[in-house]
Structure 1
C-alpha cells in the first residue's frame, strides 16, 4: 500500500499540523474570554440570589471554556486525532491503536455537540453553531461506522470518507472569523485600537493556516488511499513543509 512508503512524510505532516494548531488555540483563548464577558454583561442586572440555570454553568465560573469556545476546541482536538490516525495508518499501527484514536475522536465530537447545545445568547451574532451541529453529527456517524468495522480497511475507508465533512467544519470556522473577531473586540470593556490590530493579525494568521491546512489535509487523505500513486506522497511532503514554514513564520511574528 502506498501510504506504508510514506511514514516519514506523514510524520512531517503530523508535526506541521500540530504546529499550526498553536495559533488556533490562541484564537480560542480569545474567543473563550470574550464569550464569557458578553454573557456576564447580559446577565449583570439579574439577581444572582433568584436565578440559576444549570445550562449556563460553564458561564458562571471561570474554569475551562464556555460552551462555544469549548465546542470549537473539542472539534479541533478531534481533527488533531484524525490526523494522527492517518499517520497511524502510514506507520502500520495495530487495529487496537487505531481503534483507540477513533474512539477518542467520537468522544470529542460528542463533547463538542453537547457544548453547542448550551451556547447562550451573547447579544452578538455568532452563526457557527448552526451548520457545525449537523457536520459534527455526520462525522460522528462515520467514525462510529469505522469502529464497528474494527479492521484496518474499514478505518482507512471511513477516515477518507470523513474528510469532506471535516473540511466543511474548517471552512465554517474560517467563514465565521469575522463574527468571532467582532465578538472579541466588542467586549463590554473597551478594547484599545492597538489590541484590536493585534487581534486582527491573530485571526488573519489563523485564516491563512486554515487554508494551508485544508490543502495539506486533502493531499494527506489522497496519500492514505490504498495503492495510491507515489506522487501523492511526494506532494504531501512538499505541502507539509509549506504548512510548517508558514506556521513557524507566524509563530515568530506573534512572539515579537
Structure 2
C-alpha cells in the first residue's frame, strides 16, 4: 500500500511538472477570446468613424475626382480603413498565436493548426504587409511581422515538451504587440469620437443642450474604448501569470479559484462593452 501511494505521489508530481503553466495559459487564452469578441463591437464602430474622417479629408468641401489605390479601403464599406485594419490584424495575430501555443500546452497535434495558419496567411488576415500612414505606426507593422516570424518557428517544432520553453519567447512578442496597440489609445479615442467632437466644436457655443448630449456620447464611447483596452491589459497580466506558473507551480485550489474569478470578470467586462455600444 505504501509503495502504491509513493508511486501515485511520484506520478502526480511528474504530471504537475509537465503541465506547469498549462491551466494558466488556458485561462489567458479564454480571456483573450473575450478581447477578440469585444473587438468587433469596438472596431466596427471605430471603422465607421475613421471612414467618415478620412472621406472628409479626401473630399474637402466638395468631392474628389481621384480614387487612389491606397484609399480603396476607405471608400469600400465592406473593408476596414487603415487604422482599424491594423488593430484588427494585431488582435487576430495574437489570437492565432494563442491557438498554436494552446495546441502545444494541451498536447494536441499541430497538423490541423498548421493548415489553419496557412489559410490565415493566404487570406492575409493578421499577417499581410500593412501600409503605414498617419495613423498606422511603423512599430505596429513591425511587431505584427515579428509575431508572424515567431509563429512560423512554432508550427515547425510543435510538441508539448517545448511548451514552457517557447512560451517565454512567444509571450514577449505578444506583449510587445499588445503594448503598441495600447500606446495608440489616444488615436483610437479621437478616431472613435471624431464626428461628435466635430459637431461639439460648434454646439458648445450655439446649442447648450446639444453640447451636453454630445459630451455624454463622447464619455460613453470613451468608457467603451477604455473597457476594451483594459481587457487587453488584463489579458497581458493573465499571460504573465501563465509564464510565472510554468516555473512556480501554484497549488491547484489557488489556480481553480483564480481562473473562475478572472473568467467571470472578463465576461462581465465584455458584456458591458456591448451595452455601452448599444447606447450610441
Is the TM-score greater than 0.5?
Answer: yes
User: Could you say which residue in structure 2 is the equivalent of 1:247?
Assistant: 266
CA–CA distance in structure 2, aligned partners of residues 64 and 164 of structure 1: 30
Cα distance, 1:171 vs. partner?
1.3
User: Could you say which residue in structure 2 is the equivalent of 1:33?
Assistant: 48
User: Could you say which residue in structure 2 is the equivalent of 1:59?
Assistant: 74
Residues 106 and 143 of structure 1 are in contact (CA less than 8 Å); yes or no, is this contact kept in structure 2?
no
Q: Where does 1:77-156 land on structure 2 (aligned, <5 Å)?
A: 77-100=92-115, 102-103=117-118, 111-112=125-126, 114=128, 116-117=130-131, 120-121=133-134, 126=135, 129-149=137-157
Deviates further, 54-63 or 159-168: 159-168
CA RMSD in angstroms comes to 3.3
- The TM-score, its normalising length taken from structure 2, stands at 0.72
User: Could you say which residue in structure 2 is the equivalent of 1:171?
Assistant: 179
1:18 aligned to 2:33? yes
CA–CA distance in structure 2, aligned partners of residues 166 and 40 of structure 1: 33
Structure-2 change in CA distance of 1:252 and 1:51 (3 Å): closer
For the residue of structure 2 that corresponds to 1:231, the secondary structure is: coil
Cα distance, 1:146 vs. partner?
2.5
* Aligned pairs, number: 245
Residues 18 and 161 of structure 2 are in contact (CA less than 8 Å); yes or no, is this contact kept in structure 1?
no
1:190 aligned to 2:199? yes
User: Could you say which residue in structure 1 is the equivalent of 2:238?
Assistant: 216
Larger CA Rg, structure 1 vs 2: 2
Per-residue CA shift, 1:169-205, capped at 9, x if unaligned? 1111112112210122123763611210111111221
CA–CA distance in structure 2, aligned partners of residues 232 and 131 of structure 1: 39
- The TM-score, its normalising length taken from structure 1, stands at 0.78
Residues 95 and 150 of structure 1 are in contact (CA less than 8 Å); yes or no, is this contact kept in structure 2?
yes
Unaligned runs of 5+ in 1: none
CA–CA distance in structure 2, aligned partners of residues 96 and 155 of structure 1: 16
CA–CA distance in structure 2, aligned partners of residues 111 and 251 of structure 1: 23
Residues 121 and 128 of structure 2 are in contact (CA less than 8 Å); yes or no, is this contact kept in structure 1?
no
For the residue of structure 2 that corresponds to 1:219, the secondary structure is: helix
CA–CA distance in structure 1, aligned partners of residues 184 and 251 of structure 2: 31
User: Could you say which residue in structure 1 is the equivalent of 2:5?
Assistant: none
Residues 51 and 74 of structure 2 are in contact (CA less than 8 Å); yes or no, is this contact kept in structure 1?
yes
Cα distance, 1:39 vs. partner?
0.9
Per-residue CA shift, 1:190-221, capped at 9, x if unaligned? 36112101111112212321221101012234
Unaligned runs of 5+ in 2: 1-14, 201-213
Structure-2 change in CA distance of 1:215 and 1:9 (3 Å): closer
